[in-house]
């Protein structure tokens, strides 16, 4: 005979957010440019100071994409000092033994904490945790170490190589920096990782494992080899080197692949009563999470998987499809992915919600994409503004029927909103946010 206990699931709210994106190095800068329809995609600068020399050295084909959604003018030490004026010598050493993906996660975490008005030192450390995802981890540090090892031998390999590349050390370094002793882990489930990290943190709080979680994703994979790998797969948009801002065009007839991007998005998730007791700002309630696998193909998504994932999030929240007002899709600008998701949305929602694909402005942040887009979705709910999709000139007939927000942002009340993330391997996540204070309270 099975025995168990009845668990009353606790409510979870978003009390703080932090961003580092191609649009800006803060939440406010990124959101302002997103709503204004400003693209963060430009000619790449991280490969080499001299692109001509780079192209000759690596035998770059004419259609190789030399564009990206880069984080611009990022100064880790300055950002950390502004967020944490009492930096110790150990804090300052972080720049030496952390990869960029960890640095993005740290600065976004401190911005989220500041917005949340949360002082980790006065919280029970065992009730505070971190779950931060990444798709590629410290791949830039790995490539650099490989080059030095090949050219100069063992002694030129940094002793910090391993701490820089390990995928869990964004979550680990954030936890160490704030003294968090609760759940501490990393997810690496491709492009669904950021969304799944937020979902996992949501479950930890619901089930009583923690009261506060810093959750999201971070990515810094703009390296020659990574871009070459995606290029050889045929996954990247090509032919846009002379007009980079036009390259990411989800649902458009010319969508030909995604634009690689980098950055981080971190949320402070908190149990509702705990947040109310400390008079924390509440931006939205996270009321549903769906996760599933296609069980179908590594890169060819399955229609039923996308539908199943979104439906699970709505069932988790106890609402019907007709109640969704806004949907931020995965929408990477790949024909196969866009068409599959468009069909799933059309079939699932009898009354089409507003849809805007924010990757058209940021590019694709891989393991951080789901977290960054979840934050954009929360801001849409809270600010009652739906950001625009760019580059919708002629909609792909196979994506027709969606209520796409194109060109300009729309002011609209959003009661419930979904954020989708789908990854290689057929791994899916959907997060459902509700306006707070809610009309159904």
pLDDT digits (tens, 9 = 90+) for 155-175: 888 888 899 999 999 999 999
Residue 78: per-residue pLDDT: 86
Question: Does position 5 have pLDDT exceeding 70, yes or no?
Answer: no
Give the chain's largest Cα–Cα span: 71
Distance between CA atoms of 337 and 273, rounded to whole angstroms? 40
What does DSSP say about strands 263-271 and 416-423: parallel, antiparallel, or unpaired?
unpaired
What does DSSP say about strands 67-68 and 42-43: parallel, antiparallel, or unpaired?
antiparallel
Residue 95: per-residue pLDDT: 81
- Tokens standing for 148? 């030095």
27-36 helix and 369-383 helix, angle to the nearest 10 degrees? 70
- Tokens standing for 372? 């960054």
Average pLDDT over residues 255-280: 97
Tell me which residue of 214, 262, 233 sits closest to 41, measured CA to CA.
262
For residue 94, name the pLDDT band (cuts at 50, 70, 90): confident
Distance between CA atoms of 224 and 99, rounded to whole angstroms? 16
Average pLDDT over residues 286-308: 91
At 393-415, the pLDDT tens digits run 999 999 999 999 998 999 999 99
* Average pLDDT of the residues of the chain: 93
At 355-401, the pLDDT tens digits run 999 999 999 999 999 999 999 999 999 999 999 999 999 999 999 99
Residue 267: per-residue pLDDT: 98
Question: Does position 89 have pLDDT exceeding 50, yes or no?
Answer: yes
Tell me which residue of 265, 269, 266, 309 sits closest to 285, measured CA to CA.
269
Residue 212: per-residue pLDDT: 98
Distance between CA atoms of 175 and 325, rounded to whole angstroms? 35
At 28-62, the pLDDT tens digits run 999 999 999 999 999 999 876 678 888 888 899 99
Tracing tokens 């990854």 back to the chain, one arrives at: 423
Three-state SS annotation for the chain: CCCCCCCCCCCEEEEEEEEEECCECCHHHHHHHHHHCCCCCEECCCCCCCHHHHHHHCCCCCCCCCEEECCCCCCHHHHHHHHCCCCCHHHHHHHHHCCHHHHHHHHHHHHHHHHHCCCHHHCCHHHEEEEEECCCCCHHHHHHHHHHHHHHCHHHCCCCHHHHHCCCHHHHHHHHHHCCCCCEECCCCHHHHHHHHHHHHHHHHHCCCCCEEEEEEEECCCCHHHHHHHHHHCCECCCCCCCHHHCCCCCECCCCCECEECEEEEEEEEEHHHHHHCCCCCCEEEEEEEEEECCCCCCCCCHHHHHHHHHHHHHHHCCCHHHCCEEECCCCCCHHHHHHHHHHHHHHCCCCCEECCCHHHHCECHHHHHHHHHHHHHHHHHHCEECCECCCCCECHHHCCCEECECCCEECCCCEEEEEEEECCCEEEEEEEECCCCCCC
- Burial of 17-47, coded b for 16+ CB within 10 Å and e otherwise, reads bbbbbbbbbbbeebbebbbebebbbeebeeb
Active site residue: 38, 55, 146, 191, which one? Answer: 191
Residue 200: per-residue pLDDT: 98
Domain 12-435 has CATH 3.90.1150.10: no
Distance between CA atoms of 341 and 319, rounded to whole angstroms? 21
22-26, 140-144, 306-310: least confidently modelled range: 140-144
User: How long a stretch of residues is the chain?
Assistant: 441
Whether the model clears a pTM of 0.75, i.e. scores above it, the answer is yes
Tracing tokens 């931060």 back to the chain, one arrives at: 132
Residue 48: per-residue pLDDT: 66
309 counts as catalytic: no
| Percent of residues, the chain, with pLDDT higher than 90 | 82
Residues 6+ apart with CB under 8 A from 146: none
């Amino acid at each position: 005979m099975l025995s168990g206990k009845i668990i009353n699931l606790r409510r979870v709210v978003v009390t703080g957010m932090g961003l580092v994106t191609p649009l800006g190095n803060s939440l406010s800068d990124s959101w302002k440019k997103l709503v204004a329809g400003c693209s963060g995609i430009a000619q790449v600068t991280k490969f080499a100071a001299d692109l001509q020399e780079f192209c000759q050295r690596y035998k770059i084909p004419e259609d190789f994409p030399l564009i990206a959604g880069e984080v611009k003018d990022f100064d880790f030490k300055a950002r950390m000092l502004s967020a944490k004026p009492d930096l110790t010598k150990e804090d300052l050493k972080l720049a030496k033994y952390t990869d960029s993906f960890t640095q993005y996660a740290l600065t976004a975490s401190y911005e989220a904490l500041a917005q949340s008005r949360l002082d980790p030192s006065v919280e029970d450390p065992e009730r505070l945790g971190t779950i931060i995802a990444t798709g590629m981890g410290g791949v830039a540090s790995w490539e650099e170490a490989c080059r030095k090892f090949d050219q100069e031998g063992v002694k030129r390999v940094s002793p910090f190589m391993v701490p820089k590349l390990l995928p869990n050390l964004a979550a680990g370094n954030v936890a160490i920096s704030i003294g968090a002793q609760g759940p501490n882990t990393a997810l690496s489930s491709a492009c669904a990782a950021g969304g799944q990290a937020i979902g996992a943190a949501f479950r930890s709080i619901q089930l009583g494992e923690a009261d506060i979680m810093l959750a999201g994703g971070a990515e810094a994979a703009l390296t020659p080899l990574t871009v070459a790998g995606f290029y050889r797969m045929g996954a990247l948009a090509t032919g846009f080197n002379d007009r980079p801002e036009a390259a990411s065009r989800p649902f458009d007839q010319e969508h030909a692949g995604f634009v690689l991007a980098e950055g981080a998005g971190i949320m402070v998730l908190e149990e509702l009563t705990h947040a109310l007791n400390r008079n924390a700002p509440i931006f939205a309630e996270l009321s549903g999470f769906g996760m599933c696998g296609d069980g179908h193909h590594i890169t060819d998504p399955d229609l039923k998987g996308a539908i199943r994932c979104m439906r699970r999030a709505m069932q988790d929240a106890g609402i019907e499809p007709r109640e969704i007002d806004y949907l931020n899709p995965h929408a990477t600008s790949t024909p196969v992915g866009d068409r599959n998701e468009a069909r799933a949305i059309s079939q699932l929602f009898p009354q089409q919600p507003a849809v805007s694909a924010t990757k058209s402005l940021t590019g694709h942040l891989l393991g951080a994409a789901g977290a960054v887009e979840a934050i954009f979705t929360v801001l849409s709910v809270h600010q009652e503004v739906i950001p625009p999709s760019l580059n919708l000139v002629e909609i792909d007939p196979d994506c027709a029927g969606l209520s796409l927000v194109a060109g300009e942002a729309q002011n609209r009340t959003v009661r419930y909103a979904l954020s989708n993330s789908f990854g290689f391997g057929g791994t899916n996540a959907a997060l459902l946010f509700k306006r707070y204070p809610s009309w159904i309270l």
